[in-house]
Structure 1
């Protein structure tokens, strides 16, 4: 009789007592998210951009244009209907901050009460591509101080909120407002870009400080666009090489990571002072920091020899590009935005993003969450909100009539299969604590 025969004689042929506790019969992580704080964060978001266009005469407000102000209860109910417990949610900063020390809480109180009542965990987005009219635009050096007051007021009013994105996509905000000439100040200069970027990073840092002062266990999910330009030239141009370095600049300043000499000279040529640089390099902001990477296929572009730039859609993909960011900062990662504009292509795009996430986790990178952005369709993002075409972008889990698109069922199938996996393997052994952050940690 061999050893296996002896085991079978004594204990039977498999299904051994104890196997249900993580052994062969243990739970595999399938099932809809159950609210366990150690679980991977499956999320969606509600598109809330509000830049100005046409020299400040038109305010784009996606919460209004997509009907959320009138249907917020229905929209938040759809989040729960999907089986999701986490929501990237933006408060309309531009309309709430009426002046120094003056705030309009009417809509925010209604929406936040509903979020709390439904048991949704919000990742609260406090500045999304625009500022109040009285502040002007991102060239205003008073922005960091005024915005920090808003962050303090929000943290005091909603003390139960732990997760925040102080300033969404800082690099994109600065580029499209200060360099591309589409939003807000509509400048087309390197100085305009650097000025907007340093003001937004400073606003994020000081807002983070005010949040941490009131919620010392805060979790900051810094949503930033993951970008890359491929140049089809035997000798890549200096301009493209610089662009591929500048994509890191907002996070370099935010996380006190010294940029390259080329970028450093570029910043100082365009208005960053040595004193400002030293201030940014003093250290990371407080609280628990998560690096959120937003990836759309249109984030990757191919520059042709004749100078034309084409959208390349998924050459490297989220995995390869985010890996560049991770190896630069070694921060915990979250996939904080993705979609495609073609509703019939959305399910396969979703699956591709999830394959990338699973591969990243298998390679040892701590990926903590995923977001399909957004819950409902958007309007005019094919022109970056720069044109008033009222063109519906079919990228939501639901259309503007709140009817599910094919990607909603695809996302539900992912949730049923993976909804209870933990943030890190065996993550349930880690205590999720509300003690204040106090250690500087490296992943």
Structure 2
């Protein structure tokens, strides 16, 4: 392959890891601040964490910018920390797929996603990041998991702007989608060769669901990507649903006239969570396996005709269970590639322990909400420092990633 060939056109599977980067800085009674970098001490250990990423053999790193800290006031940017991070990524040769928006908006953005200026504000922020780091960062996710954002912020009233119900879900997801379009347009204007990896949660459903019918849940999981790619036309299954909740034909025309396309479609799949039954609005997880992953890859590959990457996958379990999933998942993805599906990536996410989002709603210590998803565990010492401890799955991931890179080198 030539040096100018995009990584997703190299004809092989690329391995990546991701560092959990949820930022919900807004506080209210009963809702405390949630900043995963702070809770996992990534702000203090970021150099060590990046060194571990390089050691793991990962070719890609999903890593997010804390927007609320980088732009503390509208239009004013503080690059003091990200400048250091980017320089070390450059030195280590880490290709970062930048999560511009994982979860959470700045404190100054009144009503969060509902703010009338949100699409332009997030696009301006995205452009500023791309302009500053154009010589190192070339791969961008405008917003991670728009569907989950819309559920937590618009349907379930858990995160700002705290809306509820289907009307709230639609209002939030349409605003989010506008921001995704405008962000991609602004980044492309200053970085014409940028790669865009659009990422959403890959949900599967079993049995009958309530109160929303299963067909609606299955269509909604694709709504953000359908909107930004201009697919919501007169024949779309959700056109009536959108109109019912205030979306106009002018809104849908705007999306069609401003359609953007992802270079890579990213889907997130967790074998112990992504498949579920929805009863009385509650998601009841059902353990799945590689068959669920196959179903989603086939769906996204066929529907959008773009390269597909698994941008998040992992499980909470023993190192042996993690190794088993690593091998099962990658074997399935390689089989899908052999069948003609352009699967280009597998990302173990999160790379290390995260703090469950439910931490936000009580006063328990972060350790009581630790979820050991990672290839690296966090272990608190007497000095309260969180040591990074590789588990057995780390070495297996490194072996798989190194072998894949070697195959790619021999082909090129």
| Bin of the TM-score, shorter chain as denominator length | 0.7 to 0.9
Instruction: Identify the structure with the greater helix proportion.
Output: 2
Partners of 1:86 and 1:155 in 2: how far apart?
18
TM-score normalised by L of structure 2 = 0.87
TM-score normalised by L of structure 1 = 0.81
Q: Which moved more, 1:185-194 or 1:369-378?
A: 185-194
Residue 48 in structure 1 maps to residue 21 in structure 2? yes
Residue 277 in structure 1 maps to residue 252 in structure 2? yes
Partners of 2:328 and 2:13 in 1: how far apart?
18
Q: 2:55 aligns with which of 62, 81, 91?
A: 81
Q: Note the 1:237-248 alignment, pairs <5 A.
A: 239-248=213-222
Residue 227 in structure 1 maps to residue 213 in structure 2? no
Q: 1:290 aligns with which of 241, 264, 275?
A: 264
Query: SS where residue 301 of structure 1 aligns?
Result: strand
Q: 1:180 aligns with which of 156, 168, 186?
A: 156
Q: Is the 8 A contact 2:25 2:106 kept in 1?
A: no
Q: Name which one, 1 or 2, has greater alpha-carbon Rg.
A: 1
Partners of 2:32 and 2:393 in 1: how far apart?
32
Q: 2:40 aligns with which of 50, 53, 66?
A: 66
- For structure 1, the 5+ residue unaligned runs are 1-34, 429-443
Q: Is the 8 A contact 2:32 2:361 kept in 1?
A: no
What is the aligned partner in structure 1 of residue 384 from structure 2? none
1:235-278, CA deviations, whole angstroms, 9 ceiling, x for partnerless residues? x9762221111111011012112366441111111121211111
Residue 169 in structure 1 maps to residue 169 in structure 2? no
Partners of 1:296 and 1:379 in 2: how far apart?
17
Query: SS where residue 17 of structure 2 aligns?
Result: strand
Query: SS where residue 158 of structure 2 aligns?
Result: coil
Deviation at residue 219 of structure 1 after TM alignment: 0.3
Deviation at residue 296 of structure 1 after TM alignment: 0.8
Query: SS where residue 119 of structure 2 aligns?
Result: helix
Partners of 2:402 and 2:252 in 1: how far apart?
47
Residue 302 in structure 1 maps to residue 277 in structure 2? yes
Q: Is the 8 A contact 1:343 1:395 kept in 2?
A: no
Residue 192 in structure 1 maps to residue 168 in structure 2? yes
Query: SS where residue 222 of structure 1 aligns?
Result: strand
Q: Is the 8 A contact 1:168 1:222 kept in 2?
A: yes
Aligned alpha-carbon RMSD (Å) = 2.5
Residue 336 in structure 1 maps to residue 322 in structure 2? no
Query: SS where residue 365 of structure 1 aligns?
Result: coil
Q: Which moved more, 1:342-351 or 1:191-200?
A: 342-351
What is the aligned partner in structure 2 of residue 128 from structure 1? 102
What is the aligned partner in structure 2 of residue 267 from structure 1? 242
Residue 206 in structure 1 maps to residue 179 in structure 2? no
1:327-365, CA deviations, whole angstroms, 9 ceiling, x for partnerless residues? 211111111001111233211122221122112101101
Deviation at residue 396 of structure 1 after TM alignment: 1.1
Q: Note the 1:418-433 alignment, pairs <5 A.
A: 418-422=404-408, 428=412
Residue 407 in structure 1 maps to residue 382 in structure 2? no
Q: Is the 8 A contact 1:380 1:387 kept in 2?
A: no
Residue 417 in structure 1 maps to residue 403 in structure 2? yes
Partners of 1:239 and 1:192 in 2: how far apart?
18
Partners of 1:139 and 1:320 in 2: how far apart?
34
Compared CA separation, residues 276 and 224, structure 1 to 2 (3 A)? same
Partners of 2:97 and 2:166 in 1: how far apart?
32
Query: SS where residue 213 of structure 2 aligns?
Result: helix
Q: 2:285 aligns with which of 277, 302, 311?
A: 311
Count of residues paired in the alignment: 387
